[in-house]
Copies of this chain bind each other. A is one copy, B any other.
Amino acid sequence: MGGIAADRLRSIIERVERLEEERKALSGDIRDIFTEAKSAGFDVKVIRQIIRLRRQEPAEVEEQETLLDIYRRALGM
C-alpha cells in the first residue's frame, strides 16, 4: 500500500476510534443518569418504557394499547 493510501487508512481508523470513544462516554453518561434516577426512588425499567413510548406516535401508542387489552382479555390474562 502506498503512503497516501496508508495515511488515508490511518485517518479513517483514528476518526472511527475517536467517535467510538465519544459514543462509549455517552453510554456511560446515560447509565449515570439511570443510577441517579434509581437513587431518587424512580423505577428505571418504567422510565425506559416511558422513553420508548415517547419515541412513538401517540396514535400508534394508543392503537397498540387497545390491541394489547383485546389480546389480554382474549387470553384471560
Interface of A with B (CB < 8 Å)?
A: 1, 5-6, 8-10, 12-13, 15-17, 19-20, 22-23, 26-27, 29-30, 33-34, 36-37, 40, 42-43, 45-47, 49-51, 53-54, 64, 67-68, 70-75, 77
Contact = CB atoms under 8 A, between A and B. Distances in A.
Nearest to A44: B12
Task: State the main secondary structure of chain A at its contact with B.
Answer: helix
A36 B16 CA distance: 11
A53 B71 CA distance: 12
Contacts of A47: 9, 12-13, 16, 71
Nearest to A10: B75
A71 B51 contact: no
